[in-house]
Amino acid sequence: MFSKQGHSTAKGVTTKIKKIRGLMSSENNITEVNKKVSELQEMFRWFPQTIHKTFHSCLHNRESIEESQLDFELIPDQIEQLRENVNLWQNGIKPAR
């Protein structure tokens, strides 16, 4: 159960990032983008302390363990890159308004 939930949550982070990027196609989505970024940050805030540790401890072969750890380590970088992109996007919109 935990391994499926952990894997699902990790995929959820990637899915949310993709949805946010899609919303950034229109300047009318500033409020929605900010809301989704906040939700993503909150989702990842509790994820490391709970699900990932449990998921990771259920893995038995070295390849799966390494893949899980690598994927997990990339998530903060993906979120930070998204935040930077959102800031640049918003700064580009504000002068045009």
Residues of the domain holding 71: 2-10+32-96
Q: Look at residue 38 and tell me if it is in a domain.
A: yes
Q: Look at residue 15 and tell me if it is in a domain.
A: no
In angstroms, the CA 93 to CA 28 distance is 10
Q: Look at residue 92 and tell me if it is in a domain.
A: yes
Pairwise pLDDT comparison (82 vs 53), residue with the higher score? 82
Q: Look at residue 77 and tell me if it is in a domain.
A: yes
Q: Which pTM does this prediction carry?
A: 0.69
Q: Look at residue 24 and tell me if it is in a domain.
A: no
7-16, 29-38, 78-87: least confidently modelled range: 7-16
Separation in Å, CA 9 to CA 6, 12, 40, 69, 79:
5, 5, 11, 14, 14
The total domain count for the chain is 1
Q: Look at residue 69 and tell me if it is in a domain.
A: yes
